[in-house]
Chain A
Amino acid sequence: MKKLINDPLKVADELVEGLVDAYNGECKFVGSRSIVKNDIPDGKVSLLVGGGSGHEPIYHGLVGRNLADGAACGDIFAAPPPNIVFEATEEVNRGNGVLYLYGNYAGDVLNFDLGAELSDDEDIDVRTVLIWDDVCSAPPTEKDKRRGIAGLVPIVKMAGAASQVATSLDELEAAARKAVLQTRSVGVSMSPGSIPATGKPTFEIEEDQIGLGMGIHGEPGVGEIPMTTADELTPKMLDLVIEDFEKDDEVEPLTPGDDVLVFINSLGATTMMECLIVLRKVKAELTAKGISIYDVMVGPLTTCQEMSGISISLTRMDDELKRYWEMPCQSVCFSKMEGRYGGQK
């Protein structure tokens, strides 16, 4: 794999430096390796995200206007150490509490929890909401074992909007929890990405197989199935998402009349062409079930280098989540206007 990099051990540092340059003054590089907005108002309830690097644009590309206030960035595919989490926490804190919102991976939980303890020593009020949208990683009764994948993009977007209007950490936490609860994803992988420092693949899979439910680092999912067409695969993936809403006692099943936000994510190498072909089938399937598409996101927002694969995320939208979604937002990697496609605004 040809990678346009310098010192392989400095990849994460240099990409965050580049990201700060891309923000052109809107954000700054903080401490060992964090990125934080420059204009966080006093008294704001702050939103901090973060995780391993190498999955750009998440998480650090989701810092921006009406999005996250900062991101603690780990090394490639590794959780940020506690001191980085703490440095970012101190920098985003405006005295009204900080919400940590990140994907449920053991390394991230360990390090963010330690970062929260260091922050607590400095009397910063920290709360944590974990993202666990990957329905193939564990049954609904074991959500603590579920991984966070592409669903984190709409979740962070809506939490970022909620953080603009929240008057307390309780309010922001409740909004983020609702967005997490209503967002479910299924992913497939077709070929691995590579580790930038070594060039080695992140996992192995046969040329003629697809990993159904496989995680973004090659974690096992439902199982491997023979390579197939977009129209054969899409309903299988979508059914797993819809079934999860049915099986989980904590949410209502999706029913005709529900509004959902649809997100088709590419893991990196899967093209927009393929994403659109899948989207077209998702739309047909949802329409047949009477579920209406409220808005659509499509593109490579949660990636693993040149991994090929795709995920489908659905978020059931109520009035509150719609308000958060319709707020405009802007970052180097993800921006949207006010309102929604096909809406009145």
Chain B
Amino acid sequence: MPKEYLTIDETRDMMLVVADKIIEAEPILTDADRALGDGDHGIGMERGMTAVKEALDGNEFPCVGKVFMGVGMAMMSSMGGASGAVFGTLFRSGGKALKDAESLDGAGVATFWKEGSENVMSRGGAKPGDKTMVDSLVPAAEKSAAATGSVSEALIAAAMGAVAGRDASEDMIATMGRAKTLGEKSLGKPDAGCVSVAIIAETMRDFIDS
């Protein structure tokens, strides 16, 4: 039975599950980053999501946007480095765009990914095709925007986009960050940021079924 919308508390609980999933995936993220970057993405995300759990667990929020903004602030202030800034920006700007909505519906999901991805691009300067997390964010935004209707449909579509973007990133040559020094050697492996975004989007989708 597709769900029409998530309440504020359900949105918070969804993000707590996302936090657990990312913490669990630390070895996967570390391996993905070791192949192309400096190998600290897994540890950074684990640290960020541990702070997210502290910020969300047992707390009440006035609107769904504040849940996402809380996630962003916790990641930003605990992770440091470039990834703390971009993941923090994703959740802070995506949450801010939801204004004072008291539930998360399909349109809200689409707004979250659209505003989040646009702000990550303007903040970090990455474009689609640069082999960064943007390559999962943009398709997640596009697919969820096309899926008019329930929160279930929008989350399924966003996850589909994020996963497709992660897979497509394998065939891209890195032009940003540390991986750019590898040039064509970066082919054949997905971007670690895309791996994280795909896990986040898939966990949000799976939360509805649970």
A residues engaging B (CB < 8 A)?
A: 32, 74-75, 78-84, 106-107, 110-111, 113-114, 219-220
Contact = CB atoms under 8 A, between A and B. Distances in A.
B77 interface: yes
B77 A82 contact: yes
A107 B89 contact: no
Contact of A81 (B80, B124, B176, B177): B80
B140 interface: no
Contacts of B80: 74-75, 78-81, 84, 107, 111
17 contacts: A32-B77, A78-B40, A78-B80, A79-B80, A81-B78, A81-B80, A82-B85, A106-B176, A106-B177, A107-B80, A107-B82, A110-B124, A111-B80, A111-B82, A113-B123, A114-B88, A219-B181
In the A-B complex, list the 5 residue pairs whose CB atoms are closest, starting with the nearest: A110-B85, A107-B82, A83-B77, A78-B81, A81-B80
A82 B82 CA distance: 11
A80 B76 CA distance: 10
Nearest to B73: A83
A111 B123 contact: no
Of the four ranges (under 10, 10 to 19, 20 to 34, 35 or more), the interface on chain B belongs to 10 to 19
Interface in B104-130: 123-124
A79 B181 contact: no
A75 B81 CA distance: 9
Contacts of B85: 79, 81-82, 107, 110-111, 114
B79 interface: yes
Interface centre among B77, B81, B181 (most CB of A within 10 A): B81
Contacts of A84: 77, 80
B181 A106 contact: no
Contacts of A79: 80-82, 85
A110 B82 contact: yes
A114 B73 CA distance: 11
B139 interface: no
A102 to B, nearest CB: 14
Nearest to A33: B80
Contacts of B88: 82, 114
Interface centre among A32, A75, A81, A83 (most CB of B within 10 A): A81
B184 to A, nearest CB: 15
A239 to B, nearest CB: 25
Contact of B84 (A32, A111, A113, A219): A111
Contact of A110 (B77, B78, B123): B123
A220 B82 contact: no
A27 to B, nearest CB: 22
Nearest to A220: B181
B159 interface: no
A74 B78 CA distance: 11
A79 B86 CA distance: 13
Contacts of A114: 76, 85, 88-89, 123
Interface string B116-159: 00000001100000000000000000000000000000000000
B37 to A, nearest CB: 12
A225 B89 CA distance: 41
Interface in B41-92: 73, 76-82, 84-86, 88-89
Contacts of B78: 81
Nearest to B126: A106
B123 A81 contact: no
Contacts of A80: 80
A5 B88 CA distance: 31
Nearest to B124: A110
A216 to B, nearest CB: 14
Contacts of A83: 73, 76-77
Contacts of B89: 114
Contacts of B82: 79, 106-107, 110-111
A262 to B, nearest CB: 30
B76 A107 contact: no
A164 B79 CA distance: 34
B181 A82 contact: no
A82 B177 contact: no
A200 B181 CA distance: 20
A103 to B, nearest CB: 14
Contacts of B124: 106, 110
